[in-house]
Every structure is written in structure tokens, then in C-alpha cells.
């Protein structure tokens, strides 16, 4: 416990960096995923393509991906953001395509029928109706990306990954186990807080008409 | 009804505008058979036109071309004299109401938000939108205070449908398009919604197009009924009475089905019939006076009424001769029909009571007179020769037909090749009288059950 109390400041700071990296990447990923879903959901072929992309993307080991990105992007925050965002996009994209496709045809037809433009129909009808499903995708992404961010952060930048991997590399040495455990616990705590925040966001942004 | 800002002040004023489909064709993809084949169709202002026909005949396609949810491959759509074929589709649709099966409400918006959506898009201020929402909820028989803030999921199917109608009427559009609006509700709710639709239309007089495949609904709601076959080929475009009484060909009579005569009975109400006088007495009168009165009038029966003029009994003269006093107890099985009953109901009552006639009562059960079977039969016969007041709207699939719009009256006349003498097909009497007998299938040039612009 001394390990934690001695490094309290450092742990908090790293946790904050970790949290901040994940949240920013998650937001970016949501925008990208919704954008991709928007262009693909109305075509069956593109929807299938998006789903395959998700499935294949998730099988790529994140460590390998990071390694591959170092060559073109070098070390630093940029490759970390790219990797974390890439993985975060996948579950959101899949859910967004599913969510948008599950909006009943009649609802879209009515929207068009009363004179809403394609854009208005998307942003005021289809997106709000798909929103709960998209949000579920965001929660899955957030959980998944917490771990990936730890790896990325160790190799490339700031975050809780430092505790875990520096501990692992010195395993057996003084405080090495404490370092690893501190890192893991902090990741779990940060993940739980983010999930709670996302649930709260869902409450605040989902229409009551979709919940009753 | 609350005071209305935009609805007509005097009920019955036409607020709809005429619609004309001019030689409209729709081909989906490169399929050879068009879903809608050279359709020319006039939809008169303020009338309700019903599209009926078998599944896949092109009803929905035709209707969606009116608000350009589906773009015509060929031809033009003219609304209130303006060709709307090239105008912005969204703007066009904001000026038309659109209702689909089950209402198509937005589940994430409250009832008020759903109804207020079009006014909001049109830039109305909040106050005006809120007033309009309440007014419309009342129009469709929903209490604003208890329904305004509900979400669609918190409504029954029939209520959702009502909100769908209210939303479509929100900006007071002159045209209302409805695709099987009452298809998803149970028969009792459907009947109630239909009745409400009739009274709403009596008040607003919009131009309404309703797609249905229920001929009974078509006949009940329509001022005019179009019976389509595959490719939106018009088999008959006529008044409901004539569709029932004089189907243009076998296709239409098959579609109308058996019992067309009986359906006609459902079209007429008792108060539209001549109601016969009867000899009336009160229970205080003596049977002898009653007999004398009946004989003086040459009637075989008298009607005994209470003080509020409600029928008590309906004895025959023979019964009166045997009686010592007039009945004072209400006879339970009197054949009584209301003024608003259909002839179908009236006939039913007569047949059940075996009286061959029925007592007609008005408001509060007050006796009005008698209808008998002869009157009903006579009215059926009259219907058969359906009094044609005014002209029928124009409708044809003739690719060579041209229409002519009178610049002053806006009246539409169909010029067929026969008339202008480029003649192919048969000569018929200046084409003034439609040839209703022909049922030439497949030939879409002159085989028009109802091609006439004017009826003599
Ligand atoms: N989007 C489309 N793509 C291709 N073909 C279509 C499309 N929509 C309709 N069709 C075809 O056009 C024809 C007319 O369809 P439409 O929906 O107008 O029929 P309908 O009379 O409304 O039938 P129903 O009573 O079943 O609703 C049908 O043969 C249908 O298969
Ligand atoms: Mg249809």
C-alpha cells in the first residue's frame, strides 16, 4: 500500500491521461463510425462490407497493429490515438449500421412524406431512433479500448500502461508486482467510471418515447 | 370544436385543390412491364377519391407519385394548375398531408411534437404550433390534456392512427394522401375511424386520395372510386353507386363481389328516403276512435305514442276491434329504426319483425313516420339508374389521349384519338358516352371503361 500512497499523484495523473485518451478517441470514433454508417446503411452491399470490416478489424492483435504503425507514424501520441480510435470505431460502426437499419421503413417514409429532407430525416428521425443501439456500441468500445489504450500508452505515450508494463518487465524486482496490480486496478476503476458516465449520457440523451 | 385559425370558418367550403395526373408512367428499373402505365387521372378539388384494386396493381405507386415520394418515369403531375413535376420534392410534400398504415409516428417524439413537426418546419412560432396541436387533437377526438405529452408507444393502434391523421392535417394542407390508413386496426376501430374521417372531411373538404383494397371502405368513404388492374389500368372510375350498380366489366364486378346490391343498401340512410305518414293515437284514446281514424285514412295499422311521442305499440285494425283498451305497455319487439340507420339496417329490422315496414324515430326516440319494403326497393331501383349530377372525373390509360383544361373554369376535357379523328379503334358517338361494356383485356389504347370528359 505504501507503493500507492507514495505515488498517489503519479497514479492519478496517469489515470487522468488514460481516461482522457480513451474519451477523446471514443468521441472521435463515434463521429467516424456514424459517418461510415451513414454512407453504408442504406445499401445492403455496403452494410455487409461494414460488418465484415468490423469482424476482421477485431481479429487484428492490437500489439501487432501498434508495431505496424510505428514505422509510418513514429512514436508519440499520434499512433496511440490512431490505434485506439481504430478499435473504438469497430463496435460502434456495427451497432450504428444495425441501429439505423432497424428503424422501421414506415417511419422513414412518413418523415419523407411530410416533407423532411434526407438530411433532416437522418438527423432528426433515424439517428435519434438508432441512438440507444449506438450508445451500447460505445460502451462496448469503451471497455475494449481501455485495455488497448494501456498497451498503446506503454509503447507510445502516456497513461496507465506504464505501470503495468514497467512492472512486468522487472517482474521479481522490487515493487514490480505492486506496479502491475496498481495499473490493472486503475484501468478497471477508470473503465467503471467511464461506463457509468456513458449510462448517464444514455439516460440524458435517449428519448423517453424509446424507453417506455 | 375549438375555434380554428386556419380551418374553414363555414363548414363545407372546399379547401382542397384539384390534382391531375397527366400521362404518368412509372417503370421500376428496366422492367418491361410498367407499374403505372400512361395514367391520366383527374382528382377533383374537395373530393375523396379511393384507389382500389388487387395487390400489386400500382395503387401505392400512383399515390406516391402525387407527392413525388416516387418520381414518375414519364408524364406530369399538376396540382392546382401548377406543374409540380420539377419543383423541390420536400417543399411539395410539406404542402400535402401524408398518412400511412399504423400512422408512421416518430416514436421518440411526443404526440405534440409529432403533430407540430410540419408547422415547425414551416417556421410557425411556438404559441401558434401549440394551439394548432390542441385544435387538431380535438378534431380527431383525442383530449389534448391527456394525450399531448404521450409518446406513440403509450397509445393504442387506433389512437396512433388518429394522431397520424392530425399530423397530416397540421399545416392545413389542401391535399391529403392516405395509404391503407385503416388497415392495421381492428374492424370496430376501423369503422369508427372511417366515420370520423367522413365527418372531418365534411367539415374540411380537402382533396383526399385514399388507397385501400377494401371495396366496402372505398364505397363508404369515396366520392369517386377508381378500380385499377395491373399497371394501374383504370377499369372503372365512377361514383360508388355506379360502381356497385353498374360495374363496367367482369373485372369490376368480380372485384366488387357478390352482394353489390346489398352494399348499395349500406350507402343510403333512412333519412334520405320518403318517410310515410301513419295514424297516431295515444293510450287514452278508445279503440273505436283508433279504428275510425285508421279507416278514415285508409290505413291498416295505428301507432300508439306516449306523451314524448315515443312509439308504444303498433296494432292492426283487426287487433283494435278485439281490444277493450289501447296498450299502455311498451311492446318489446317493435321494429324501430333511427333516422341515421342505413337501408341495410332498416331492411334487416323489417325482415326480423316480419312486418314489412318499420317505425322511424328521430332524436330522443320521437316518432317520425314509417318506412316500408316497397319504399326501400323503389330507392334501390332509383339508385340503379343513378342520377348523374354533374360530370365524372376524367380517367384513362390511353397513351394518345390528351387533356384540355378550360382556362376559365379549370374544367378538364379528355380528347381521345377518336375525337380528334386520328382515329384508331372504334368510333363511338363522338366518344361522349363511355363504352362501359368493353372488357378487352390488355389493350390499353381505347379499351376505356370510363373515358368521357363530359356526360350528356
Ligand atoms: N421499389 C420498387 N422496386 C421495384 N418494383 C416495385 C417497387 N415498388 C413497387 N414495385 C412493383 O410495382 C408494382 C406496383 O406496386 P404498388 O406498391 O404500387 O402496388 P399496390 O397496388 O400498392 O399493392 P398493395 O395493395 O399490395 O399495396 C408491383 O408489381 C410491385 O412489385
Ligand atoms: Mg400498396
Shortest-distance atom of ligand 1 to CA B58 = 18
Side-chain-side CA neighbours of residue B396 (13 Å): 29
Domains of chain A: which residue ranges? 12-206
Give the whole-angstrom CA distance, residue B132 versus residue B167. 10
Torsion of CA B90, B91, B93, B97, to 10 degrees: 140
Residues B82 and B186 in one domain: yes
Inter-residue long-range contacts of B328-335, CB under 8 Å, 24+ positions, other chains counted = B328/B283, B334/B359, B335/B359
Pair (B289, B261) in one structural domain: no
Chain B residues touching A113 at Cβ < 8 A = 67, 69, 93, 98, 100, 104, 177
Same domain flag for B280 and B372: yes
Calculate what percentage of chain B has a pLDDT beyond 90: 39
Tell which of B244, B268, B292 closes a domain: B268
Give backbone dihedrals phi and psi of A103, rounded to 5 degrees, phi first.
Answer: -70, 125
Ligand 1 pocket, residue B414 CB under 6 Å: no
Provide mean pLDDT across the span B103-122: 93
- State how far the Cα of B177 lies from the Cα of B172, in Å rounded to an integer: 13
Nearest partner of B177 among B388, B17, B29, judged by Cα: B17
pLDDT in tens, A115-142: 999 999 999 999 999 999 999 999 999 9
- Measured between beta carbons, the chain B residues lying within 8 angstroms of A120 are 121
Return the percentage of chain A with pLDDT > 90, whole number. 44
Q: Are residues B296 and B350 in the same domain?
A: yes
Instruction: Please give the CATH topology (third level) of the domain spanning A12-206.
Output: MetI-like fold (1.10.3720)
C-alpha distance from residue B271 to each of B192, B267, B293, B329 (Å): 21, 12, 27, 28
Ligand 1 atom nearest residue B63's Cα: 18
ipTM surpasses 0.95: no
Centroid of ligand 1 to alpha carbon of B61 (angstroms): 6
Q: Is the CB of B212 under 6 A from ligand 1?
A: no
Q: Is residue B84 part of a domain?
A: yes
CB contact under 8 A, A209 and B107: yes
Q: At what angle do helices A8-40 and A161-169 cross, to 10 degrees?
A: 120
Q: Which residues partner with B316 through β-bridges?
A: B301
Q: Which of B235-249, B260-274, B345-359 has the lowest mean pLDDT?
A: B260-274
Check if B57 has its Cβ closer than 6 Å to any atom of ligand 1: yes
Which of B187-191, B291-295, B395-399, B452-456 is predicted most confidently? Answer: B291-295
> Please, which pLDDT band fits residue B291 given cuts at 50, 70 and 90?
very high
Q: How far apart are CA B301 and CA B279, in angstroms?
A: 7
Say if residue B257 is in the same domain as residue B354: no
Pocket lining: B258 vs ligand 1, CB cutoff 6 Å: no
Is the model's pLDDT at A43 over the cut of 70?
yes
Q: Which of A177-186, B125-134, B246-255 has the highest mean pLDDT?
A: B125-134
Residues B197-229: tens digit of each pLDDT: 888 888 889 999 999 988 888 988 899 999 999
Torsion of CA B194, B197, B203, B204, to 10 degrees: -150
Domain limits at B214?
19-95+173-268
B132/chain A closest Cα distance in angstroms: 17
Let me know if residue B144 belongs to a domain.
no
The reply to whether B337 falls in a domain is: yes
pTM score of the predicted model: 0.74
Nearest CA to ligand 1 atom 12: B35
Instruction: Decide if B376 is inside a domain.
Output: yes
* Nearest ligand 1 atom, CA B62: 18
Q: Which CATH number characterizes residue B292's domain? A: 3.10.580.10
- If one residue of B50, B52, B55, B61 were mutated to test the ligand 1 pocket, choosing by the most ligand atoms within 8 A of its CB, it would be B61
Across the interface, do B109 and A109 touch by the CB < 8 Å criterion? no
* Residue B352 shares a structural domain with residue B378: yes
Of B237, B268, B299, which residue constitutes the final position of a domain?
B268
CA of A142 to the centre of ligand 2 (A): 44
- B195 and B292 fall within a common domain: no
At B41, the pLDDT band (50, 70, 90 cuts) reads very high
A41-50, A188-197, B392-401: the lowest-pLDDT one: B392-401
Residue B160 is inside which H or E element, if any?
A: helix B157-169
Please, what is the average pLDDT of chain B?
Answer: 82
Say if B212 falls within a structural domain: yes
Q: Which of B273, B236, B271 minimizes the C-alpha distance to B255?
A: B236
CA of A42 to the centre of ligand 1 (A): 19
Q: Give per-residue pLDDT as tens, B53-79.
A: 999 999 999 999 999 999 999 999 999
Beta-carbon pairs below 8 A across chains A and B: 74
- Chain B hits for A209, Cβ within 8 Å: 106-110, 151-153
Of B395, B391, B439, give the one whose Cα is nearest residue B24.
B395
Q: Give the mean pLDDT of chain A.
A: 87
Please tell me whether residues B188 and B69 are part of one structural domain: yes
Residue B399 lies in a domain: no
- Residues B81, B206, single domain; the answer is yes
- Ligand 1 pocket residue status of B396, Cβ below 6 Å: no
Determine, yes or no, domain membership for B9: no
Single residue among B268, B296, B328 that ends a domain in this structure:
B268
- Whether B284 and B337 map to the same domain: the answer is yes
Distance, CA of B373 to chain centre = 26
Torsion of CA B399, B401, B405, B410, to 10 degrees: -80
**Which candidate, B227, B217, B166, places its Cα nearest to that of B41?**
B227
Angle at A191 between CA A186 and CA A192, to 5 degrees: 100
Q: Is B56 in the pocket of ligand 1 (CB under 6 A)?
A: yes
Give residue B31 CA to ligand 1 midpoint distance, Å.
12
Residue from B108, B147, B166, B168 whose CB has the most chain A CBs within 10 Å, to mutate = B108
Q: How far is the CA of B37 from the centre of ligand 1 (A)?
A: 13
Place of cell 341495410: B344
Domain count, chain B: 2
DSSP class per residue in A117-186: -HHHHIIIIIHHHHHHHHHHHHHHHHHHHHHHHHHHHHHHSSSTHHHHHHHHHTTTSTTHHHHHHHHHHH
Q: What is the mean pLDDT of residues A3-24?
A: 85
Residue B110 lies in a domain: no
Same domain, B362 and B214: no
Residue-wise pLDDT for B249-289, tens only, equals: 999 988 888 666 667 777 777 888 888 899 999 988 899 99
Residue A154 pLDDT > 60 = yes
Same-domain pairing of B180 and B309: no
Amino acid at each position: 500500500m505504501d507503493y500507492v500512497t507514495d505515488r498517489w499523484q503519479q497514479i492519478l495523473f496517469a489515470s487522468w491521461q488514460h481516461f482522457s485518451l480513451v474519451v477523446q478517441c471514443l468521441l472521435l470514433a463515434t463521429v467516424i463510425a456514424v459517418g461510415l454508417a451513414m454512407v453504408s446503411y442504406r445499401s445492403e452491399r455496403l452494410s455487409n462490407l461494414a460488418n465484415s470490416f468490423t469482424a476482421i478489424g477485431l481479429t487484428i492483435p492490437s500489439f501487432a497493429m501498434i508495431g505496424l504503425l510505428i514505422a509510418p507514424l513514429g512514436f508519440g501520441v499520434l499512433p496511440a490515438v490512431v490505434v485506439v480510435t481504430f478499435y473504438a470505431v469497430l463496435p460502434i460502426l456495427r451497432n450504428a449500421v444495425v441501429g439505423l437499419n432497424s428503424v422501421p421503413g414506415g417511419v422513414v417514409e412518413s418523415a419523407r412524406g411530410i416533407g423532411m429532407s434526407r438530411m433532416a430525416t437522418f438527423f432528426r428521425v433515424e439517428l435519434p431512433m438508432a441512438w440507444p443501439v449506438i450508445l451500447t456500441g460505445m460502451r462496448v468500445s469503451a471497455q475494449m479500448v481501455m485495455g488497448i489504450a494501456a498497451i498503446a500508452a506503454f509503447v507510445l505515450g502516456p497513461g496507465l500502461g506504464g505501470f503495468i508494463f514497467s512492472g512486468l518487465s522487472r517482474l521479481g524486482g522490487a515493487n514490480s508486482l505492486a506496479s502491475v496490480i496498481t495499473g490493472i486496478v486503475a484501468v478497471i476503476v477508470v473503465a467503471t467510471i467511464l461506463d457509468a458516465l456513458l449510462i448517464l449520457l444514455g439516460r440524458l440523451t435517449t428519448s423517453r418515447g424509446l424507453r417506455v | 370544436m375549438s375555434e380554428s385559425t386556419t380551418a374553414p370558418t363555414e363548414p363545407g367550403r372546399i379547401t382542397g385543390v384539384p390534382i391531375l395526373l397527366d400521362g404518368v408512367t412509372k417503370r421500376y428499373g428496366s422492367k418491361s412491364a410498367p407499374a403505372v402505365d400512361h395514367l391520366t387521372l383527374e382528382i377533383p378539388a374537395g373530393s375523396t377519391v379511393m384507389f382500389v384494386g388487387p395487390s400489386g396493381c400500382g395503387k401505392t405507386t400512383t399515390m406516391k407519385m402525387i407527392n413525388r415520394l416516387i418520381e414518375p418515369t414519364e408524364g406530369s403531375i399538376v396540382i392546382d394548375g401548377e406543374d409540380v413535376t420539377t419543383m423541390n420534392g420536400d417543399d411539395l410534400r410539406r404542402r400535402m398531408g401524408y398518412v400511412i398504415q399504423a400512422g408512421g409516428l416518430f416514436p421518440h417524439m411526443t404526440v405534440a411534437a409529432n403533430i407540430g413537426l410540419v408547422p415547425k418546419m414551416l417556421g410557425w412560432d411556438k404559441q401558434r404550433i401549440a394551439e394548432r396541436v390542441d385544435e387538431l387533437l380535438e378534431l380527431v377526438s383525442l383530449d389534448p390534456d391527456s394525450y399531448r405529452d404521450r409518446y406513440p408507444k403509450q397509445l393504442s393502434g387506433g389512437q396512433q392512427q388518429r394522431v397520424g391523421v392530425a399530423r397530416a392535417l397540421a399545416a392545413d394542407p389542401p391535399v391529403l394522401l392516405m395509404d391503407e390508413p385503416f388497415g392495421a386496426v381492428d374492424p370496430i376501430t376501423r369503422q369508427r375511424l372511417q366515420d370520423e374521417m367522413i365527418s372531418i372531411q365534411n367539415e374540411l373538404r380537402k382533396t383526399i386520395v385514399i388507397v385501400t383494397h377494401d371495396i366496402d371502405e372505398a364505397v363508404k368513404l369515396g366520392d369517386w372510386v377508381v378500380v385499377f388492374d395491373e399497371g394501374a389500368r383504370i377499369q372503372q372510375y365512377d361514383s360508388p353507386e355506379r360502381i356497385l350498380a353498374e360495374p363496367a366489366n367482369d373485372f369490376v364486378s368480380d372485384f366488387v363481389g357478390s352482394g353489390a346490391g346489398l352494399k348499395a343498401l349500406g350507402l343510403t340512410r333512412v333519412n334520405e328516403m320518403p318517410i310515410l305518414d301513419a295514424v297516431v293515437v295515444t293510450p287514452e284514446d278508445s279503440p273505436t276512435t283508433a279504428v275510425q281514424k285508421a279507416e278514415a285514412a285508409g290505413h291498416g295499422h295505428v301507432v300508439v305514442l306516449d306523451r314524448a311521442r315515443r312509439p308504444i305499440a303498433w296494432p292492426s285494425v283487426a287487433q283494435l276491434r278485439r281490444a277493450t283498451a289501447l296498450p299502455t305497455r311498451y311492446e318489446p319487439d317493435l321494429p324501430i329504426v333511427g333516422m341515421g340507420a342505413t337501408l341495410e339496417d332498416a331492411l334487416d329490422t323489417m325482415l326480423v319483425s316480419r312486418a314489412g315496414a318499420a317505425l322511424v324515430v328521430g332524436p330522443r326516440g320521437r316518432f317520425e313516420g314509417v318506412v316500408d319494403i316497397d319504399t326501400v326497393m323503389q330507392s334501390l331501383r332509383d339508385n340503379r339508374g343513378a342520377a348523374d349530377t354533374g360530370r365524372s372525373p376524367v380517367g384513362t390509360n390511353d397513351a394518345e389521349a390528351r387533356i384540355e383544361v378550360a382556362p376559365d373554369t379549370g374544367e378538364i376535357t379528355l380528347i381521345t384519338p377518336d375525337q380528334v379523328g386520328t382515329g384508331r379503334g372504334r368510333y363511338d358517338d363522338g366518344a361522349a358516352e363511355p363504352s362501359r361494356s368493353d372488357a378487352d383485356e390488355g389493350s390499353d389504347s381505347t379499351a376505356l371503361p370510363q373515358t368521357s370528359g363530359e356526360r350528356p
